[in-house]
Amino acid sequence: MAFGYKEAFGLSDNPFGPRKPVGKLPPNLTFDLEKRPLLLHRSEGLEQLYCDKIPSFVAACKDMEALFEADGYTLDPPARGVTSYLVAIAGDRGAGKTTLASRMLQLIQKRRPAGEPVWDVQELFLKSTSETVTEQVEKLKALEAKVAAAAKPAYLCVLIDDLLAEAYPYAALLYDNLRNDAVVFMVFTSCDPEMSKQIEKSLHTVQPFSIAPLTPDDAIAYVTARYQVFRIPAANGINAEPLFPFDEKDIRTAVEVRVVNGNTGPVNVRLVASVLYSALSSRLQQIARDHPGFDVQAVTADKLPTMKIKVAQAYKIVVRK
């Protein structure tokens, strides 16, 4: 009999980086999810893994939807407007910018009347840590050439991820050029601190959004959302320990650790996912090695608290590297 997350923790898989298929989702959309964004616009099935309780995300989406409604992109009945949008999402690396950008693409795509063509979607994933401005500009030009060579869609979504500030004027130029043939929803993300200055001096109307630092409440909402997908009901008290084998107070403490070599540093969604994924994976391997016949559902409720994984120290180690 195979030993896995079900026997060890009462979970169908690792909630933060599932290694088995999630429903009917294509495997490439959930591969290495502990360190990759949720590309919600690629599949509606990914919405079950999305946490809609983080205030920065909720506020940004509400503001964007209000703008859609005002410009004729309605949900009831579904209708399209004629307005193009240039949207900027700023935040620390790993804060969830790409997931939020993808969510916004998903929201506008839902406003397509039945029978009309779907929005064409183009994605450009850049790497600001290893690319020069020149390299990013060349990739923007290549994207423009790709769109120009294809059939001209009436409505076009463009996701540009991890844009450098000095490459912004070229992204804005791409936006202008694409609008010659289509209504365009372009959203770009950036963790470059100089990006705000570029936007301020831009002649374009940019809808700016910023993801606030993760709070303990945000982290608990994120973990709870994932557990709702992967928790297996049990009769031994696990349901009364909703985050088992983690402890809510301990996770809150971990998120409050924001010191990197004496300087303030971010604790973000990606870090939470990575640390909790690793903690579960490591403990699973330990149990499989030392107690291969273990079954958490045979453990009495009073023993469950003694089996919890403490991650606050793990956060200190990761954050201070």
Domain ranges of the chain: 5-17+215-319, 55-210
- Which helix (H) or strand (E) segment holds residue 155: the answer is strand 155-161
Cα dihedral sign, 196-197-199-200 = positive
pLDDT at residue number 246:
94
pLDDT digits (tens, 9 = 90+) for 120-149: 999 999 999 999 999 999 999 999 999 999
CA–CA gap between residue 242 and residue 233 (Å, rounded):
10
Least confident of 125-139, 165-179, 275-289: 275-289
Does 212 score more than 50 pLDDT?
yes
The answer to whether residue 272 scores a pLDDT higher than 70 is yes
pLDDT digits (tens, 9 = 90+) for 75-124: 999 999 999 999 999 999 999 999 999 999 999 999 999 999 999 999 99
Q: Are 102 and 194 in contact (CB under 8 A)?
A: no
| Strand-pair category, 263-264 with 259-260 | antiparallel
Which class in CATH covers the domain with range 55-210?
Answer: alpha beta
Q: By C-alpha distance, which of 220, 224, 236 is closest to 305?
A: 236
Helix (H) or strand (E) holding 224: helix 216-230
The pLDDT value recorded for residue 306 is: 87
Buried b (16+ CB within 10 A) or exposed e, 106-145: bbbbebbeeeeeebbbbbbebebeebeeeebbebbeebbe
What is the distance between the alpha carbons of residues 105 and 121, in angstroms, rounded to a whole number? 9
Using pLDDT thresholds of 50, 70 and 90, give the confidence band for residue 321.
Answer: very low
Round the average pLDDT of the chain to a whole number and report it. 90
pLDDT tens-place string over residues 237-253: 787 888 999 999 988 88
